[in-house]
Structures are given as structure tokens and as C-alpha cells.
Amino acid sequence: MSADSVNLPTRDEKATAEEEEAFHFARVVNSFLAYKKDALKQVAVCEKRFKDLTQRHQNHLPNHLEILERKRTSIEFNNVICQMIVRTCGNAFQNKEFETIQKGTPATKPRPMDLDKVRTTLKQIVRDWSPEGKHERETCYKPIIDEILSRMPPSKNAKKMSVLVPGCGLGRLAWEIARLGYRCEGNEFSFFMLFTSDFVLNRTANPSNGDFHRFQMYPWVTQKCNVKSWESVLAPVKFPDVNPAGLPPDSEFSMAAGDFVECYETPCSWNCVATCYFIDTAHNIISYIERIFDILTPGGLWVNFGPLLYHFSDMPDEPSVEFSYEEILGIAKNIGFEIVKDVRDLPSTYIGNSASMLQYTYQCALLVAVKPVV
């Protein structure tokens, strides 16, 4: 794999679905590899604009250029993490090496939204695998785990209760559920998340001596607005906060890549489905709820926590239907669910920087539903 770019052969004819997926795969890899160049470009713009000020105005900020140099150093740390994330993903997810044909192939060139996803993914590490993310995890993961524990305690028999976590991101919720004695599988569609979860779960721990909390990055370094102090965006974050390899010996934990609806079609195959900040990622949320109902065993549990952001609602050429939360409750009931808990207005943040002057807080809903025993 090239250190600078990954490219796949282009074809004159319309690409097949498999080729489109390969192009997308390469573009995600290239996005991680482009992080450093893109971030340093932003710093260079800031430096130029500062130097364009009159000397009298620059004199008010004698340490500003030093701050920008510290940003460059922090970006170098982040680049190391990005390089590590993609170092083995080609083999891990496609089982083949890429062919580097030419640089700048349009199908594999990172788009601005792809570069933004890289920055967001680094913040996801904070949310799922750092001490700084503990508060966010407690506001959204803990209510889900508490409901599962109280309504479906871990089985003492050889066959464990099974829990599926679609849209699991970097896998912390699924990992925590497996740690409690459930057979748990996380499912994720995004290559950004899959590459990074593979890195964190499989390559950040040293099982021989329990060494963890040993990686460092600067997730907020590219923030320019709503900054209280530059020290807040230059603050390092260490991860992981637990040993990902430290699950009990009899734990059953796995991660599966792919679209939720396409991957899980077997009826009555899961005792519980836990969704967190997930159902609003659907083009059609009804298809998600129907599939959750179908794959649950009779008496099975669906626990959902999150808002209704509807990720595709403002994207051109992406079909999306948006419903109110009340309508979603009605849909769930019509499909066959029995609603056993409905709590609303639970405040929760998502990859937020607590030191920023701008805070987004979602008023989330906790929904617990049961598939009746016929």
C-alpha cells in the first residue's frame, strides 16, 4: 500500500457494484492518508492570514505563531494514528493488496466530506475509548445496558443470551455488553468506523502485560471557532481507557461489516437488539423497525436510545423519509411491538468537546419494546 495514496484500476464502462465498493474502499483509505496534508493546509491558511495583519496588530498576539507550530506538531501525532489505522485494513477487509495504477483517480480521490469524516472518526475514539468520553458513554450506553440487565439477565446456561448492536461505530457498547456475559455482535456499515474499530480493538492492546492507555492524539486541533483557549484544542487525549483484549476468557464478542438490513435476514435469531444513535441513519426507518422485529425471538427485546437527526434528509440524490417520534411509536406498535418503556427528553451529547464555547445537546428518547410471545 502506498504511503501517499491508494488507487484502483479505472474502466471506461460503467463500474459494477463490486468495483464501486472497491473505489469507495480506496477513497476511505486515501482520506485517512490525506489527513495530514489537509490539516496542515488549514494551519498554513491561518498563518498567512495572521501575517497579513499589520505588525501593530500582530504585536497584540506575540505567541500566536507558536500556537500554530504546536498545532502542526499535534497534527503529526494524529497522522501517526491515521497511518496506523489504514496500515493493515487492505488485508483485513478485502484480503488482497491494492494495485497502485495512477494518482488522482477521481473515483478514489478524497472529497471534502470524506476528510471531515476522518476528523469525526478521531473524535469517535474519544467518545468510545478514552476517559474523556466517559460522560457521553454514561448518558447513552448505560441506560441501554441497564435495561438489558434488568429485563434479560445474562444466562447461566451454556447458551448465552444473544445481543445484536447495529450501527455500533467503534464497538464500545457491544464490547461492554459482551463483557457482562452476553453473546454480542456489533454491526457497522461505515469503512471509516470499521477500519478504526479494527485498529482499536485488535491493535492497541498488549495482552501480554495489559499495557493500554498508551496512544495519544489531539482530536480538537483543527477547531478554529468557539475556542475558549488554544490550550483546550491542543489538549492531548490518551486511549484506550481499558484493555480491549481484557474481556473474560469465555466472552463471545464479534464485529460484522455490512448493511444491517442486508446482513441480518434470519427470523427469530437474536434475543435482543440494542440501537444507539442508529435508527435515524436509515433511508427508510420503517425497514429498520421491521427487520428488528423479524430477527428477534418471541419475547425478544429492542432497546433504543437516541435522537432523530435523519442523516440523509438534506442530501441530494439520497432518498429519505422523516417521521416524528410519535409516528415511530405508532409504526412499532403496528408492526407488532409492545412498548414497555418510553422515556423522553434525556440530554445527551455526541462527540462533543466539553471545553468548546458551542455545545450541542440532544434531547433523546429511550424506547424499550418487546416482541410478543404468540
Cα–Cα distance, 368 to 344 (Å, whole number): 12
Write the DSSP assignment of 225-255 as a string of letters.
Answer: SSBS-HHHHS--EEE-SS-TT-S-TT-EEEE
pTM: 0.92
How much is the pLDDT for 55? 98
How much is the pLDDT for 213? 60
Residue 50 has pLDDT above 70, yes or no: yes
Q: What distances in angstroms separate CA 355 from CA 225, 230, 231, 232, one per listed residue?
A: 12, 10, 10, 6
Beta bridge partners of 217: 237
How much is the pLDDT for 210? 56
How much is the pLDDT for 93? 64
Q: How remote is the C-alpha of 272 from its chain's centroid? A: 21
Of residues 95 and 84, more confidently modeled: 84
Write out the H or E segment, with its range, that includes residue 275.
strand 270-276
Per-residue pLDDT of 271-284, as tens digits, reads 999 999 999 999 99
Cα–Cα distance, 125 to 244 (Å, whole number): 13
Question: Using an 8 Å Cβ cutoff, are 264 and 187 in contact?
Answer: yes
**How would you classify the pairing of strands 362-370 and 338-348?**
antiparallel
pLDDT, mean of residues 346-362:
96
Of residues 90 and 228, more confidently modeled: 228
Cell of 154: 445474562
Of residues 1 and 316, more confidently modeled: 316
How much is the pLDDT for 97? 46
Q: How remote is the C-alpha of 150 from its chain's centroid? A: 27
**CATH class of the region 116-370:** alpha beta
Per-residue pLDDT of 116-162, as tens digits, reads 999 999 999 999 999 999 999 999 999 999 999 999 999 877 689 99
- The average confidence (pLDDT) of the chain is 91
Indicate the range of 108-122, 195-209, 271-285, 346-360 predicted with least confidence. Answer: 195-209
Question: Using an 8 Å Cβ cutoff, are 325 and 306 in contact?
Answer: no
Residue 294 has pLDDT above 90, yes or no: yes
Residue 221 φ then ψ, to 5°: -60, -25
Residue 105 has pLDDT above 50, yes or no: yes
Confidence at 100, pLDDT banded by 50, 70, 90: very low
Residue 167 has pLDDT above 60, yes or no: yes
Torsional sign, CA 339, 340, 345, 349: negative
pLDDT, mean of residues 291-295:
98
Place of cell 442508529: 278
Question: Using an 8 Å Cβ cutoff, are 153 and 181 in contact?
Answer: no
Cis peptide before 240 (omega within 30 of 0): yes
Cα–Cα distance, 374 to 371 (Å, whole number): 9
How much is the pLDDT for 316? 83
Q: What size, in residues, is the chain? A: 374
Domain ranges across the chain? 17-110, 116-370
Write the DSSP assignment of 330-368 as a string of letters.
Answer: HHHHHHTPEEEEEEEEEEE-SS--TTBS----EEEEEEE
First to last CA, the chain: 54
